Structures are given as structure tokens and as C-alpha cells.
Structure 1
Amino acid sequence: MLRSSPVPRKIVTDQLRSYPAAKAEIPELANVKHVFVKAAARLNNRAENSHQPTRERERRMRGFRDPKRTQKFLSCFGPSRQHFALKRHLLRASLYRTQLAVRFIAWRELTEVTHNPSYAF
């Protein structure tokens, strides 16, 4: 990866001891300045927030043993989940309930499921 991008001028990390050891293994980084900063609460929020979609996918994959099977399930589950995923924090409770009811009606029409799912088979 370092061959395709320029070598950084400096590396800023917290005081974890594994960073200098990893840096020593990469010859391209031998002359790069390594700056340590004090690890404080909420210091790396921007970096952590960028990983939220990845963390959500990891949370969904828990309980699956086979990654291929997981991906197969999630590729089908994703679009149907998006149908019901309303931005609840932006809606009043009454509006949320009515919109969710409308989406359930559309879902039942789309899937042709009766009101009681136990009788669908």
C-alpha cells in the first residue's frame, strides 16, 4: 500500500508500544518522524465515527459461522430492513407509528402475506 501512495511526513499515534514496533518492520517508514500524543477521551472520535458502518456490519455478522452464508443472508436482508428503518429520532411518535403502519401494509401487499402469518402456509 505504501508503494502506491506517498510516504507520510510524520505519524501521530497514542502511546501504545506496538506502534513503534510495527513502524520498525516497514523500511519505508524508517526516517518518518513519530509523534506521540496523550490518549484522552474523545480525542479520536472522528476516526472512530468513520468506522461505524463497518462496526454495524460486524454486529450483524455475529452468530453466523460461515462468512459466505452471512453475506448471502445480509444481501437479502439489507433491502427489506431499509424498508422499515425509519429515522425515528426525527419523527414524532404518532407520525412514526403511522408511517410504520403504512410500510407494513405495503410489505404485506408485496409479499402477499395474510394478517396472521401463521396461516400463510
Structure 2
Amino acid sequence: MSTTSNPYRGFRYPAEIINQAVWLYHYFSLSLREVELILAARGIVVSYETIREWSLRFGRTYANSLKRRRPRPGDKWFLDEVFVRIRGKLHYLWRAVDQQGNVLDVLVQSRRNKTAAKRFFRKLLKGLYYVPRVIVTDKLGSYRAAKREILPGIEHRQSRYLNNRCEVSHQPTRRRECHMRRFKSVRQAQQFLATHTRIHNHFQLRRHRLTASEHRAARDHAFVAWRDATGTALIG
């Protein structure tokens, strides 16, 4: 968030309530009405339509701020694509994660051919400003064809099973897609998933690999970074 101005100026509710609502909506599989109910239980009366506006106005800003603050991702990329139905038409959600499970980027496209794979590679490289040591994909031929042009010389491993890390990363999206009764448009899907993925991934702490004290410390650090990214740490 910008330190030169207050992005929450003019809003009826304080920044802490706004970012709490956005966090609840994007991290948990909750509907807007369910977030409204949770806030109401805490004595905060706000409509679900207002929460929707907050999510649209601030969600992407929060996500981009978290992206700028993250450590440099790993050098081993796992890529995968799954189908999503938008108004009855088949589309594909392309996703890339590193060896730590950190989501690098997502892109919704109507095809999964060579052109679509090249577009996703370019989006990844533009956002990360470095090339990986190795990429891991399934056996879709589009990856191999695009890789030859965009990432020549980079090791490419293709296997049905080596790509499980990225396939597992799709699960939160599947839950949200079902809860939202599918997406209404490509633009809405891309906008929501770019925000949801970044916020959800920020709080995915790989608890099974941490001791209880390590997990509490990592969780505290995640919330400190969240407050910094949302600008609430700077607002007294």
C-alpha cells in the first residue's frame, strides 16, 4: 500500500474492518453473505454488497502488495492447467508454483494449445524477471512446443506424476468455484483468482513441516506482512 496517502480516506469503516472482511472472503471458502454474518456476530453491521465492493477495490491491491513483498521464488517451476466452465463454455486455468508450493501466477484462457502456453510463459517471465533452472509439466505437447521457443536450454521434465505439487495447488480454487456456483465471465474469473490465489497462498504455511513453535512464529510473521501490505500498520 502507498505510504504517501491514506487509501481508506472517506470510508465509513476503519481499515482494520475492511481488510478483515477481504481476508475472510479470500482465505476461507466463505460467501459474501457468510462474511457479513461473521462480522455481524462481532457487532459490525455491514452489507454483503459493501463487502463485495471492498473485495473488488482493495483485494487486487492487497494481492499485488503481497507479491512485491514475497521472497524470490524458487528455480524449479511446476506448471499445470485445469478446466473451468464459464457460462457453460470450457476454459482453462493455467497455474505455476515453485518447489516450495508458492504460487507464481495464474492465467485463464480459452485454449490450451501452443499459443496459450507461450502466453502463459511470457506472463510468468514478465512478472518474475528471471528464468527457472527446470520446469516440470504433464505430457501436454503445448508445453514442449512453447518451451522450445520461450525457454530454450532450460531442463524440461514431463511426467504424469511429477506434477502433483501444482495439481494439489488447484484444490482451493476448485472449492471456491463450487461455492461461487462457477464464474460468470473470463474477466471476473481472472480478477478473482489473481487476488484469491495470492492472499490464500500467503497464509499457507506448510504446517506439517513445522513444529508448533515454528508454526506460530510463521503465522505471526504472515500477519505482520499482511498488515504491512494492507497499510493498516501505518494507520493509527
User: Taking structure 1 as the reference length, what is the TM-score of the superposition?
Assistant: 0.45
Structure (1 or 2) with the greater strand fraction: 2
The alignment's TM-score, normalised by the length of structure 2, stands at: 0.25
Which has the higher relative contact order, 1 or 2, with Cα contacts under 8 A spaced 6 or more apart?
2
